[in-house]
């Protein structure tokens, strides 16, 4: 058994909520952070069939990829539709948590998982996340407190450069200030200009750390007003780890037909659609699970021989042809249904004390005749 919040935290280890798109609604959908959980059901969508399955199996938590509540709800009628499902979930004490675009964009998220299934290696994000942009953080500290500041920075993810952590630069200098009436200075006397020797500590942080690490530093810093600078670095200077889609290389070039056969076998789909000119060989491959036609230009710009995605529309197929890029539509469902196995592997390795099940009702909303 575990508390629901412990499970959410484990999911967010590979899918930090800060990576979710602004329009998305990842995270807790229904339920409580303090709920006791013995059984978890994994699903692509939260449908009536999935909810009934959760009730029958005595599940306390459903984890889905697609958010159960996507847009704002203005009214809730429990007679049918989503309102009826909400009522059943609450009545049966079942929570719902969704990991959507944050899992899509994560370094080791869904796109990484599908790329691995297809044998695509040496991958990097197709579209970089702005959360990976780097900033230089400068903290001014009394010298006898500098080591504590450095420890806090390193322990919370600052100064991570490649395979090195706790990276920083420190130099000493003179600081002047005059405490005014009502202040409570760590050093100095009210209404008297003071000069002290301080350390200037420089390090690198990414965007998402700004909201987490600064409050921690301000809480522990000995000064009443912590002095610091934050400099955005060139957007081209990025960790380049998180972001929508992936692009990388196959171990060996493949023919178009062999590559299609690989996709169908790896993803477990019976057919694909293609658009654009068919290349003689496939070696560099881009992909974006779900609906990624809008990123076709990124795949073209980065030199992909083929681009795998879903939900390709007619004029987007025309765009593929005009841009001389072979696009393979393996379907929204086809490129995302295996998300439950990614989540199962992660949760089982971190939550051996709860039962993890994949839903038996993971189905496309389309019927093929």
- Check whether 201 has a pLDDT greater than 90: yes
Per-residue pLDDT, 333? 98
Predicted TM-score of the model (pTM): 0.87
Inform me whether the pLDDT recorded for 234 exceeds 90.
no
**Residue 28, C-beta contacts closer than 8 angstroms, at least 6 positions apart:** 8, 95, 96, 97
pLDDT at 235 over 80: no
CA-to-CA distance for 55 and 32, rounded, in angstroms?
17
Residues 6+ apart with CB under 8 A from 53: 41, 59, 359, 360, 361
CATH code for the part of the protein at 134-232: 3.30.70.120
Residue 237 has pLDDT above 80, yes or no: no
Sign, Cα dihedral of 238, 241, 244, 247: positive
Query: What's the pLDDT score for residue 93?
Result: 97
* pLDDT tops 90 at residue 208: no
CATH node for 2-99+338-358: 3.40.1390.30
Query: What are the pLDDT digits (tens) for 257-309?
Result: 999 999 999 999 999 999 999 999 999 999 999 999 999 999 999 999 999 99
pLDDT (tens digit per residue) in 63-94: 999 999 998 788 888 888 899 999 999 999 99
pLDDT category of residue 188 using cuts at 50, 70 and 90: confident
- Residue 368: pLDDT band with limits 50, 70, 90: confident
What local confidence, expressed as pLDDT, does residue 81 receive? 87
The answer on pLDDT for 211 being more than 80 is yes
Residues belonging to the binding site are: 65-66, 104, 332, 336
Indicate whether 61 pLDDT > 90: yes
What digits encode the pLDDT tens for the residues 3-49? 999 999 999 999 999 999 999 999 999 999 999 999 999 999 999 99
Q: Concatenated DSSP letters for 295-349? A: GHHHHHHTT-SEEEEE---HHHHHHHHHTT-EEEE--HHHHHTTHHHHHHHHHHH
| Bigger pLDDT: 337 vs 351 | 337
Judged against a pLDDT cut of 90, whether residue 186 lies above it is answered with no
Distance of alpha carbon 75 from alpha carbon 31, whole angstroms: 18
User: Can you tell me the distance from the alpha carbon of 59 to that of 359, in angstroms, rounded to the nearest whole number?
Assistant: 11
SS3 172: strand
Quote the pLDDT of residue 155. 94
- To the question of domain 107-129+241-335 being in CATH 3.40.1390.30, the answer is yes
Q: What percent of the chain has a predicted confidence (pLDDT) above 90?
A: 88
- At 75 the pLDDT is 85
- For residues 38 and 60, the answer to whether their CB atoms sit within 8 Å is yes
Q: Work out the mean pLDDT of the chain and round it to a whole number.
A: 95
- Confidence at residue 199, expressed as pLDDT on a 0 to 100 scale: 97
- The secondary element (H helix, E strand) that includes residue 4 is helix 4-14
How far is 342 from 44, CA to CA, in rounded Å? 12
Is residue 304 within 8 Å of residue 325, measured between CB atoms? Answer: yes
Domains in the chain: boundaries: 2-99+338-358, 107-129+241-335, 134-232
Q: Which residues contact 199 (CB under 8 A, 6 or more apart)?
A: 140, 141, 142, 143, 146, 170, 171, 172
Domains 2-99+338-358 and 107-129+241-335 share a fold: yes
Which residues are part of a known binding site for a divalent metal cation?
Answer: 65-66, 104, 332, 336
| Least confident segment among 54-58, 111-115, 219-223 | 219-223
pLDDT at 236 over 80: no
Average pLDDT over residues 97-124: 97
What span, in angstroms and rounded, lies between the C-alpha atoms of 312 and 159? 41
User: How far is 218 from 228, CA to CA, in rounded Å?
Assistant: 10
């Amino acid at each position: 058994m575990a508390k629901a919040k412990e499970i959410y935290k484990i999911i967010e280890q590979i899918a930090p909520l800060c990576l979710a798109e602004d329009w998305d609604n990842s995270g807790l959908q229904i339920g409580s952070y303090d709920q006791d959980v013995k059984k978890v059901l994994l699903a692509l969508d939260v449908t009536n069939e999935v909810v009934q399955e959760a009730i029958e199996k005595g599940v306390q938590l459903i984890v889905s990829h697609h958010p159960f509540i996507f847009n704002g709800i203005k009214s809730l009628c429990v007679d049918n539709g989503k309102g009826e499902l909400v009522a059943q979930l609450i009545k049966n004490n079942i929570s719902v948590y969704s990991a959507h675009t944050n899992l899509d964009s994560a370094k080791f998220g869904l796109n990484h998982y599908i790329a691995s299934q297809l044998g695509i290696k040496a991958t990097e994000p197709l579209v970089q996340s702005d959360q990976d942009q780097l900033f230089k953080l400068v903290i001014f500290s009394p010298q006898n407190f500098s080591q504590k500041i450095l420890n806090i920075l390193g322990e919370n993810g600052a100064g991570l450069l490649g395979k090195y952590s706790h990276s920083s630069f420190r130099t000493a200098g003179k600081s002047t200030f005059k405490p005014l009436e009502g202040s409570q200075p760590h050093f100095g006397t009210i209404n008297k200009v003071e000069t002290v020797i301080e350390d200037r500590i420089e390090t690198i942080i990414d965007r998402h750390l700004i909201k987490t690490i600064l409050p921690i530093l301000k809480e522990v810093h000995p000064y009443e007003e912590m002095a610091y600078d934050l400099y955005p670095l060139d957007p081209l200077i990025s960790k380049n780890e998180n972001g929508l889609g992936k692009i990388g290389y196959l171990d060996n070039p493949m023919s178009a037909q062999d590559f299609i056969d690989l996709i169908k076998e790896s993803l477990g789909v019976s057919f694909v659609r293609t658009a654009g000119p068919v290349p003689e060989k496939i070696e560099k491959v881009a992909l974006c699970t779900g609906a990624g036609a809008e990123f076709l230009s990124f795949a073209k710009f980065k030199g992909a021989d083929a681009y795998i995605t879903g939900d390709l529309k007619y004029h987007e197929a025309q765009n593929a042809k005009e841009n001389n890029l072979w696009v393979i539509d393996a379907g929204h469902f086809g490129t995302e249904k295996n998300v439950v196995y990614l989540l199962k592997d992660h949760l089982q390795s971190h939550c051996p004390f709860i039962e993890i099940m994949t839903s038996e009702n993971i189905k496309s909303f389309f019927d093929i005749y």
